[in-house]
């Protein structure tokens, strides 16, 4: 080969490697619209010049950059510049351009929000060193060109501060993290049955008494869990002795809230207050029981006694509260809540009968909408717009209210709202409720959220203002637990909020892994990515080999076999572990800082290959039975409720219009094509149970969201009795069965597997 050719090839390889290196190291979440990696670095130093072009809307972003330079201890010769420029190109709202060269960083935008988003991108480009408690000589920003703009104007995070209180210092941390991932609305659920959290000067008792409680049932559950997991402990800092009694809670004074609002504004985050009415009001009605229809307050059938919409005293109270809320919060929107109202409490109430007659209201749903409409008129008189949970559709909604969609089990609600011309914020529980428990699918579940996939056609889509992740805190008492529930799911939600839809799951998962050191530097108690590839209920015949898929190279896996929890000195798992006797293995991943992730308990049982059934004249398919009845457990399924029996080819539910609650049974034989160990993975929402060879193999029973359980069995080649029971308790269902057969490949069970 001649020299010139060799040099050219080398240069090409070098170039290729160079751009590859950049492509791998430039990790931004959410993914910018256009990102062109270059070569080289800009060095941020103590003397980097920040030129903010005198525009007031650059001030907050420039101040943040100034803070970043103070992390650097070195000044450098030929110091670089960071230049803010008002946009000359037509950038979409909230958009920005960011050009990093070795000499300068240029941020072009027309808005404070765009400027702060550019700074958030820069922070991620620097990564972990920026967030470490120790200073650096300089900080490196890779050369890159980015053009970027959000898909949705509403990119929300909701936090319930009533069920458990989170203080201002922590909310500021949350705002920093929201801004880092380009969220711009912080919806605070400030009141609920369990505590009133915002000072109302007209009613000082609401916080003097209503913000404090003796421990309730949910607190007891947390305390019980705290015995195994300290993240469930109730923080000591939120206890206080009041009149000689130890109480738990807290609240924000209006001055503290103003400080928080300013802090958020500087980061282009808007705080949206929610005072939930007329239901979820027990913190207030315990003090003012005359606001309810029974004058006693307390618990009603499904929810607490709501405010009575038929008494003028209710409106006097509500308007006094919202007058202060409207003055305190600069946001255009106020959230009225209006979810989960025990409307039955308004039946046979003389004031309500009279109001219904006077206003021509036909039923209690219309009483609820009377309340919401009247409050909306009041909000409008204060120059504010009303948001309500999707229950505001019941009984008729005004065109100008904004609907916050949460009830995934009412899939038609967003369409109904769009057709009426109402704006919608999408936070459907199945994808967006971060209080839902997590497993190996929950991050991908959030990433798969398509805000338009709720029967919204092109014409309806313009009504979708945006998306929101919502976290209810009944069982989230501490900051660590909250972070565990939010991270890394918030990163997936940020992709949906910014881009509209996730389109590259594998790429996204890699980005999450690349950002873990940054989360570690921020000391965020994120949930580790799951270890997979094994079953907690494993078997061996002669011997087996435990294999684990570890998604993060930097995680070390450690294990014990003596029933103790693994620690950072436990045995290191080195790829495979040979099992020759029954054993219980507890294993967990550890990160660089020796923090432990989930503990998995794997049980190995010795089994002989199960003999196949002696059957003849089998046909393809499974017998399928459908029971349109409400059960709490598959054990309750009764043949007297059977409506249809038919044949399916695999695990399908061939009923076009299923009842809200129902159960199903698939029965036949699973054909083991070769003798060996089979692992069955059963995912369901709600419960399911897999029976094989006459015994329970996978018990995923109960009423729950989408959860996967698995178990292994050892099968001799042939036909094995198979029965899958499933129940749907309402709210949409999932039923999925996968198998790893002796070839080692994980796949869905299919028509090839089943006989009857
Ligand atoms: C809600 O989850 N009750 C809005």
Which residue's alpha carbon is at the smallest distance from atom 2 of ligand 1?
406
Locus of tokens 């509500």: 318
- The finding on whether 460 has its CB within 6 A of some atom of ligand 1 is no
CA–centroid distance, 406 to ligand 1, in Å, is: 7
Residue linked to tokens 């650059």: 58
Ligand 1 atom nearest residue 389's Cα: 4
Catalytic residues: 340
CA of 190 to the centre of ligand 1 (A): 13
Q: Which residues of the chain fall short of a pLDDT of 50? A: 1-24
Identify which of 440, 493, 502, 453 has the alpha carbon closest to the alpha carbon of residue 470: 493
Residues 6+ apart with CB under 8 A from 291: 281, 284, 285, 297, 307, 308, 311, 313, 314, 317
Q: What is the pLDDT of residue 9?
A: 43
pLDDT at 481: 98
E-state strands within 341-395: 385-389
Give the up-direction half-sphere exposure of residue 720: CA atoms within 13 A in the CB hemisphere.
Answer: 25
**Contact 435 CB / ligand 1 (< 6 Å):** no
Q: State how far the Cα of 63 lies from the Cα of 65, in Å rounded to an integer.
A: 5
- Side-chain-side CA neighbours of 341 within 13 Å: the count stands at 34
Residue 90: its pLDDT value, please?
Answer: 82
**Cβ(339) – ligand 1 distance below 6 Å:** yes
Q: Listing from the earlier edge strand, what are the strands of the sheet with 676-685? A: 707-715, 676-685, 734-740, 746-748
pLDDT tens for each residue of 4-24: 444 444 444 444 444 444 444
Mutate to test the pocket of ligand 1, among 192, 394, 406, 426 (most ligand atoms within 8 A of CB): 406
Pocket test for ligand 1, best of 389, 428, 432 (most atoms within 8 A of CB): 389
Instruction: Tell me the C-alpha distance between 506 and 444, whole Å.
Output: 10
Q: What is the pLDDT of residues 202-225, one digit of tens each?
A: 999 999 999 999 999 999 999 999
Ligand 1 centroid – CA 420 distance (Å): 22
CATH of 154-521, one of 3.40.50.1820, 3.50.50.60, 3.20.20.80, 3.20.20.140: 3.20.20.80
Fold (CATH) for 537-606:
Immunoglobulin-like (2.60.40)
Closest atom of ligand 1 to 404 CA is: 4
Nearest residue to 248 via CA among 269, 223, 276: 223
Report which protein residue has its CA nearest ligand 1's atom 3. Answer: 339
Class of domain 622-755: mainly beta
Q: Is the four-CA dihedral 257, 263, 264, 265 of positive or negative sign?
A: positive
* From 158, 278, 335, 340, mutation site for ligand 1 pocket: most ligand atoms within 8 A of C-beta: 340
Nearest CA to ligand 1 atom 1: 339
What distance in angstroms lies between residue 241's CA and the mean position of ligand 1's atoms?
A: 31
Which atom from ligand 1 is nearest to the alpha carbon of 433?
2
Query: What does the pLDDT read at residue 12?
Result: 42
Q: Output the CA 151–ligand 1 centroid distance in Å.
A: 25
pTM surpassing 0.85?
Answer: yes
Q: For position 46, what pLDDT does the model report? A: 95
389 lines ligand 1 (CB under 6 A): yes
Ligand 1 and 754: CB distance under 6 A: no
CA of 376 to the centre of ligand 1 (A): 20
Q: Which atom of ligand 1 is nearest to the CA of 340?
A: 3
* Number of C-beta neighbours around residue 614 at 10 A: 7
Ligand 1 centroid to Cα of residue 125, in Å, is 37
Give the distance from CA 169 to its chain's centroid. Answer: 22
**Total residue length of the chain:** 756
Which stretches does DSSP call E strand in 628-706?
Answer: 644-648, 662-672, 676-685, 688-692, 695-700
**Among the atoms of ligand 1, which is closest to the Cα of residue 470?**
2
Ligand 1 centre distance from Cα of residue 611 (Å) = 50
The reply to whether 622-755 shares the fold of 154-521 is: no
Place of tokens 């089994």: 607
CA 428 to CA 470: how far, in whole Å?
9
Tokens 């946009």 -> residue: 87
Q: Residue with structure tokens 């330079």?
A: 69
Domain map of the chain by residue range?
3-148, 154-521, 537-606, 622-755
Cβ atoms of 156 and 274 closer than 8 Å: no
Residue of 434, 424, 382, 419 whose CA lies nearest to 154: 424
Q: What fold is seen in the domain 3-148?
A: Chitobiase; domain 2 (3.30.379)
């Amino acid at each position: 080969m001649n020299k010139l050719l060799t040099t050219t090839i080398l240069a090409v390889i070098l170039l290729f490697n160079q751009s590859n290196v950049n492509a791998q190291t430039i990790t931004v979440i959410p993914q910018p619209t256009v990102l062109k990696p270059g070569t080289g670095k800009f060095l941020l130093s103590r003397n980097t010049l920040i030129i903010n072009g005198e525009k007031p809307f650059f001030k907050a972003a420039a101040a943040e950059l100034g803070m970043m330079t103070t992390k650097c201890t070195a000044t450098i010769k030929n110091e670089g510049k960071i230049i803010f420029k008002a946009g000359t190109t037509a950038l979409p709202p909230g958009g920005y351009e960011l050009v990093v060269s070795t000499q300068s960083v240029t941020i072009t935008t027309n808005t404070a929000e765009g400027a702060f988003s550019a700074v958030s991108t820069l922070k991620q480009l620097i990564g972990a060193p920026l967030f470490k408690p120790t200073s650096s000589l300089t900080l490196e920003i890779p050369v890159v060109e980015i053009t970027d703009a959000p898909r949705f104007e509403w990119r929300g995070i909701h936090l319930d501060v009533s069920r458990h209180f989170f203080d201002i210092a922590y909310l500021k941390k949350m705002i920093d993290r929201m801004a880092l991932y380009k969220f711009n609305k912080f919806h605070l659920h400030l009141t609920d049955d369990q505590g009133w959290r915002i000072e109302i000067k007209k009613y000082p008792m609401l916080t003097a008494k209503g913000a404090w409680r003796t421990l309730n049932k949910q607190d007891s559950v947390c305390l019980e869990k705290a015995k195994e997991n300290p993240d469930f402990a109730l923080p000591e800092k939120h206890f206080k002795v009041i009149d000689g009694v130890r109480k738990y809670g807290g609240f924000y004074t209006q001055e503290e809230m103003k400080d928080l609002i300013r802090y958020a504004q500087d980061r282009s985050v808007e705080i949206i207050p929610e005072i939930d009415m007329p239901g979820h009001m027990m913190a207030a009605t315990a003090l003012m029981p005359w606001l309810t229809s029974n004058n006693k307050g307390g618990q009603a059938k499904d929810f607490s006694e709501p405010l009575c919409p038929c008494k003028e005293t209710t409106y006097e109270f509500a308007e006094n509260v919202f007058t202060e809320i409207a003055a305190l919060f600069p946001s255009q929107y106020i959230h009225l809540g209006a979810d989960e109202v025990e409307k039955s409490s308004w039946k046979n109430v003389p004031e309500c009968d009279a109001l219904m007659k006077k206003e021509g209201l036909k039923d209690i749903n219309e009483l609820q909408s009377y309340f919401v409409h009247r409050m909306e008129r009041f909000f409008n008189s204060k120059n504010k717009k009303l948001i309500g949970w999707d229950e505001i559709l019941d009984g008729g909604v005004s065109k100008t209210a904004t609907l916050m969609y949460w009830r995934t089990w009412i899939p038609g609600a967003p369409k109904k709202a769009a057709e009426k011309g109402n704006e919608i914020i999408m936070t459907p529980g199945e994808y967006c409720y971060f209080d839902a428990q997590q497993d190996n699918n929950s991050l991908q579940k959030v990433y798969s959220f398509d805000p338009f996939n709720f029967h919204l056609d092109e014409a309806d889509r313009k009504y979708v203002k945006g998306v929101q992740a919502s976290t209810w805190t009944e069982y989230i008492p501490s900051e660590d637990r909250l972070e565990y529930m939010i991270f890394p799911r918030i990163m997936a939600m940020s992709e949906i909020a910014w881009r509209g839809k996730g389109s590259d799951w594998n790429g996204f998962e890699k980005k999450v892994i690349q950002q873990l050191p940054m989360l570690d530097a921020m000391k965020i108690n994120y949930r580790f990515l799951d270890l997979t590839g094994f079953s907690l209920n494993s078997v061996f015949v002669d011997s087996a080999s435990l294999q684990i898929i570890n998604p993060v190279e930097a995680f070390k896996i450690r294990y014990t076999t003596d029933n103790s929890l693994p620690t950072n000195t436990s045995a290191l798992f080195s790829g495979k572990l040979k099992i020759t006797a029954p054993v219980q293995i507890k294993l967990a991943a550890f990160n660089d800082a020796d923090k432990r992730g989930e503990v998995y308990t794997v049980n190995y049982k010795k089994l002989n290959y199960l003999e196949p059934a002696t059957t003849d004249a089998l046909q393809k398919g499974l017998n399928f039975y459908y029971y349109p009845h409400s059960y709490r457990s598959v054990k309750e399924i009764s043949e007297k409720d059977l409506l249809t029996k038919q044949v399916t080819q695999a695990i399908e539910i061939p009923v076009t219009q299923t009842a809200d609650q129902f159960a199903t049974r698939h029965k036949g034989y699973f054909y083991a094509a070769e003798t060996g160990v089979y692992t069955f993975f059963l995912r369901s929402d709600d419960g399911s149970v897999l029976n094989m060879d006459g015994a329970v193999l996978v018990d995923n029973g109960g009423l729950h969201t989408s959860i996967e359980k698995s178990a292994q069995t050892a099968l001799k080649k042939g036909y094995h009795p198979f029965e899958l029971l499933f129940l749907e308790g309402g709210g949409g269902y999932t039923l999925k069965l996968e198998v790893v057969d002796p070839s080692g490949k994980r796949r869905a069970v299919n028509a090839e597997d089943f006989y009857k």
